[in-house]
Structure 1
Amino acid sequence: MRFSRRHSLLVALVLCASATVAARPTAAASDRGGAPGPSAEEGISARVARLFEEAAVATQRYEAGRQAAEAQRAKTVRLEKLLTKERKQIAVLNADLGRIARAQYREGGGVPYTAQMLFAEDPEELMRGQRAAWQADLAVNNAVTKSRRAETRLAADEARAATAWRALEEWKAGLSGIKKAIEQKLEVAQWTLQGQADEAVAAGACRGAVRMDQPDGEPSSAWVAPVATYELSAGYGSGGERWASRHTGQDFAVPIGTPVRAVGAGRVVKVSCGGAFGIEIVVKHADGYFSQYAHLAAVTVDQGDRVGPGQWIGQSGTTGNSTGPHLHFEVRVTPELGSGVDPVPWLRKHGVTL
């Protein structure tokens, strides 16, 4: 019986789990996010943006751990099926050994050698019989030894696999705890940011631009969606109790503090923080159209600034006439309300499909 296939599979399984466990994170390392901690002067806007990045990294690591655990579980199921089959094979081998031993006894293997010499008629026949018996004994002993070694190796490999599996589960649980802690910090920071925004709107005085580090990567001339990750909610022209007639833009459902991007190159012509739109930004583009970003929690540009595609110009919120966190995005032929066009086909003409 051959055990090489099972053994190689199990060794690969244990090594895979061990390699995953070796990369186990610590709460302190994850909480740092690979970057220096916030200073006393760090604004809440920058803290929210940083926590978003940390939450994204933690989520990716958690998903990687979850996928590794699922793969480990699938391998364990396959291994258990293989082990069950091999246990049956070992049982068959043991039964065969019993039959061989019984047959050997019936054929004289259990008769003492001295008695066989006294009753033998032909010395050569005696020697042949003894040689055959000796070879049979040797084959049986070898088979028994192999069977016992296989069973011992099987037990040891099962124990190693079980240890690796438990370690992987602990690692995944640790990732889940780190992810939850970051999300809790993010939620507190988000509503602190929103509270500051609501105060500014109530006072009718914008706090001014909060400069933030821009996303990594080389500047591009390609147009982009106003937020990187989103779910579309209310669309252009849809009805609703909170609008005088029809919805004038496209809403993007995103959490408070999500970085809002300029969809294309242009100049900021308006930054305001009162009225139905709450905190808003309006950008004029080279084709004569204007893009509006409303219900913000913070702005990172001032009126008159030049912006490029993908540049962070603010953070989403729920200021003004808003029922929940989202970005209200409009495209207009003038900077004022009432001149809007459907943003979806306008973005599509610029190479952006929502």
Structure 2
Amino acid sequence: MPSHRRIPLLVPVVLCAAAVLVARPTTADGQPGGDGTGGGPGSGLSAQVARLYEEAAVASQEYEAGRVEAEAQRVKVQRLEQLLDRERREITVLRDDLGRIARAQYRGSGGLPVAAQLVLSSSPDELMRGQRVLSRTNLVVDTAIGKSRRAENRLAADEARAAGARRALERRIAELAVLKKGIAQKLEQARWQLQGQADASVAAGSCRGAERLDGPPTRDARKWVVPVDGYTLSAGFGSGGARWAGRHTGQDFAVPIGTPVKAVGAGRVVRVSCGGAFGIEIVLQHADGYYTQYAHLASVAVDQGESVTAGRWIGQSGTSGNSTGPHLHFEVRVTPEMGSAVDPVPWLAARGAPVG
């Protein structure tokens, strides 16, 4: 956190000026940085990118939750479709039954309506038998017709319910997609604006002031962590390449511009510099005597001389300096200078922060 010093009003102005110079970020040569724009948490483009990352994370969580909900809704729709198919088959059977009843009635009466048969009956017994036949026939027909109508009404209601569920599902997925796309577009634009500031700092050879980032509360009790989240491992320690004078001296973590970079362990900031092959870089000194370097950054969130804890956001990844694409170049050294690097992957694994 930035330090706040109360300076008595009687202190000479020259001491105030000296204090300002000490507070300014320095270059790799230890010279004062350029026109610092550092502010409190929440100010500036770096903080905007950090907030958009958080919004993107929330949007992704909501999208994932929506996807799970959509999958559950899809299962419900499938069940409704199965129910509709069963109901359609039942209605077909009912209609077939009505057809059979009608045909049987026609054959049993010799082609005459039942009422006509009653009129033409020759005795009271025949008349009573005819009435009973008519009553049973009407009951069977009325029951079949009522059952068929109820089934058809139920089918229509279920079809409407299934269609509504499908429309709600499609609408939900579309809303989530629009939300996610909008945040992604804002984030991508802000990323490259941030990288433009970084490139200008590197070209000038002086760093902008540290911009504090309100990172999430550190709940991880581990003493050592991996420097970035959501990474893909790219160039490894000791690998060859046309862009290096010798072998690669660190481990590259491919991440988008603006990804928060964390201190892998507690330590003190011994270097914040802008310029040269590493672009914007931070070097930390740890209590066990090792140093860690974080290079090709787009912004810094700490000042030289500041103490940090494990997991603290110290900057944002970028592609400044000698870099072919957005990534974090991470080194572990036995001195603060280049040329003393050791393989950072087993070094982190030995401290309980495996990379993979």
- Secondary structure, aligned partner of 2:114: coil
Deviations 1:185-206 (A, max 9, x none): 1122111111111111111111
- The residue aligned with 1:341 is 342
Deviations 1:24-56 (A, max 9, x none): xxxxxxxxxxxxxxx9x8300000000111112
Shift of 1:172: 2.0
- The residue aligned with 2:284 is 283
Q: Answer yes or no: is the 8 Å Cα contact 1:104–1:133 preserved in 2.
A: no
| Counterpart Cα distance in 1 of 2:306 and 2:96 | 87
Deviations 1:110-164 (A, max 9, x none): 33277368424x73x7545533541342132122112112112211221232133
What amino acid sits opposite 2:64 in the alignment? Answer: E
TM-score of the aligned structures, taking structure 1 as reference length? 0.81
**Closer, same or farther: CA 286–136 of 1 in aligned 2, 3 Å:** farther
What amino acid sits opposite 1:349 in the alignment? Answer: A
Q: Which has the higher contact order (CA 8 A, sep 6+)?
A: 2
Question: For residues 1-354 of structure 1, what are the structure 2 equivalents within 5 Å?
Answer: 42-108=43-109, 110-112=113-115, 115=118, 118-120=121-123, 123=125, 127=128, 130-218=131-219, 220-354=221-355
| Counterpart Cα distance in 2 of 1:59 and 1:161 | 28
Shift of 1:336: 1.2
**Closer, same or farther: CA 173–249 of 1 in aligned 2, 3 Å:** same
| Counterpart Cα distance in 2 of 1:115 and 1:258 | 92
Deviations 1:207-256 (A, max 9, x none): 12111212134363442110121111111111111111111111111111
- Secondary structure, aligned partner of 1:270: strand
| Counterpart Cα distance in 1 of 2:218 and 2:116 | 88
**Alignment length, in residue pairs?**
313
| Counterpart Cα distance in 2 of 1:280 and 1:256 | 14
Deviations 1:52-98 (A, max 9, x none): 11112222223333443344345434533442343123112211121
Q: Answer yes or no: is the 8 Å Cα contact 2:334–2:341 preserved in 1.
A: yes
- The residue aligned with 2:15 is none
Shift of 1:325: 0.7
Q: Which range moves more in the overlay, 174-183 or 102-111?
A: 102-111
Deviations 1:273-330 (A, max 9, x none): 1211111111122222111111011111112211111110110011111111100011
Larger Rg: 2
| Counterpart Cα distance in 2 of 1:344 and 1:119 | 108
Q: Which range moves more in the overlay, 279-288 or 293-302?
A: 279-288
| Counterpart Cα distance in 1 of 2:63 and 2:172 | 9
What amino acid sits opposite 1:137 in the alignment? Answer: N
What amino acid sits opposite 1:72 in the alignment? Answer: Q
| Counterpart Cα distance in 1 of 2:211 and 2:68 | 39
| Counterpart Cα distance in 1 of 2:80 and 2:220 | 50
| Counterpart Cα distance in 1 of 2:204 and 2:91 | 82
Aligned CA RMSD, in angstroms, stands at 2.4
What amino acid sits opposite 1:214 in the alignment? Answer: G
What amino acid sits opposite 2:349 in the alignment? Answer: R
| Counterpart Cα distance in 2 of 1:287 and 1:128 | 109
Q: Answer yes or no: is the 8 Å Cα contact 2:237–2:344 preserved in 1.
A: yes
Q: Which range moves more in the overlay, 236-245 or 66-75?
A: 66-75
Q: Which range moves more in the overlay, 105-114 or 88-97?
A: 105-114
Q: Answer yes or no: is the 8 Å Cα contact 2:87–2:155 preserved in 1.
A: no
**Closer, same or farther: CA 132–288 of 1 in aligned 2, 3 Å:** farther
| Counterpart Cα distance in 2 of 1:217 and 1:126 | 95
Q: Answer yes or no: is the 8 Å Cα contact 2:118–2:127 preserved in 1.
A: no
| Counterpart Cα distance in 2 of 1:346 and 1:353 | 9
Q: Answer yes or no: is the 8 Å Cα contact 2:114–2:134 preserved in 1.
A: no
Q: Answer yes or no: is the 8 Å Cα contact 1:251–1:327 preserved in 2.
A: yes
Q: Answer yes or no: is the 8 Å Cα contact 2:87–2:151 preserved in 1.
A: no
**Closer, same or farther: CA 217–336 of 1 in aligned 2, 3 Å:** closer
- The residue aligned with 1:10 is none
Q: Which range moves more in the overlay, 132-141 or 50-59?
A: 132-141
- Secondary structure, aligned partner of 1:135: helix
**Closer, same or farther: CA 162–187 of 1 in aligned 2, 3 Å:** same
What amino acid sits opposite 2:289 in the alignment? Answer: G
What amino acid sits opposite 1:163 in the alignment? Answer: G
Q: Answer yes or no: is the 8 Å Cα contact 1:201–1:274 preserved in 2.
A: yes
Report sequence identity in percent: 67
